[in-house]
Amino acid sequence: KLRTPAATTGPAVTPPPAADGDALLEAVGLTKSYAGADGDLPVLSGIDLTVRAGEIVALLGKSGSGKSTLLRCLAGLIPASSGAVAYRGEPLTGANPGTAMVFQTFALLPWLTVRQNVELGLEARGVPADERARAAGQAIDLIGLDGFESAYPKELSGGMRQRVGFARALVVEPDVLMMDEPFSALDVLTAENLRGELMELWESGQFPTRAVVLVTHNIEEAVLMADRIVVLGSRPYGTIRETVEVGLDRPRDREAPAFQELID
**Which residue ranges make up the site for Mg ion (CB under 5 A)?**
68
Is 201 in contact with 207 (CB distance < 8 Å)? yes
Q: Site mask, ligand ADP, residues 42-61, x = CB under 6 A?
A: -x-----------------x
206 touches ligand ADP (CB under 6 A): no
Region near ligand ADP per CB under 6 A, out of 6-14, 65-73, 146-154, 159-167:
65-73
Closest residue to Mg ion: CB criterion: 68
Instruction: State which residue, 118 or 213, has the beta carbon closest to Mg ion.
Output: 213
Q: Cβ 41 to ligand ADP, closest distance in Å?
A: 6
Q: Can residue 218 be called a binding residue for ligand ADP (CB under 6 A)? A: no
* One character per residue 6-35, x = contact with ligand ADP (rule: CB under 6 A): ----------------------------x-
The yes or no reply on residue 216 touching ligand ADP (CB under 6 A) is no
Total chain residues near ligand ADP (CB under 6 A): 11
Cβ closest to ligand ADP, residue 160 vs residue 225 = 225
DSSP H helix total and E strand total for the chain: 7, 10
| Choice between 68 and 209, CB closer to ligand ADP | 68
Long-range contacts of 73-77 (CB under 8 A, 24+ apart): 73/27, 73/30, 73/32, 73/44, 74/25, 74/27, 74/49, 74/99, 74/178, 74/213, 75/99, 75/101, 75/178, 76/5, 77/101
Question: What CA–CA distances, in Å, run from 24 to 34, 52, 54?
Answer: 26, 5, 10
What is the spatial distance between Cα 181 and Cα 214, in angstroms, rounded to a whole number?
7
Question: Is the distance from CB of 228 to CB of 243 less than 8 angstroms?
Answer: yes
The one-character DSSP state at 19 is P
- Using CB under 6 A as the binding rule, whether residue 117 contacts ligand ADP is answered as no
Rounded Cα–Cα distance for residues 89 and 11 (Å): 20
Region of residue 46 (left: phi > 0; alpha: psi -120 to 50; beta: else) = left
- Assess 236 for contact with ligand ADP (CB under 6 A): no
Give the residue, chosen from 14, 21, 63, 261, that forms a contact with ligand ADP under the rule CB under 6 A.
63
Interface with ligand ADP (CB under 6 A), residue from 49, 53, 58, 67: 67
Minimum Å gap between C-beta 40 and ligand ADP is 10
Nearer Cβ to Mg ion (71/127):
71
d(C-alpha 199, C-alpha 217), whole Å: 18
User: Distance between CA atoms of 163 and 74, rounded to whole angstroms?
Assistant: 23
Question: Which residues contribute to the site for ligand ADP (CB under 6 A)?
Answer: 34, 41, 43, 61, 63-69
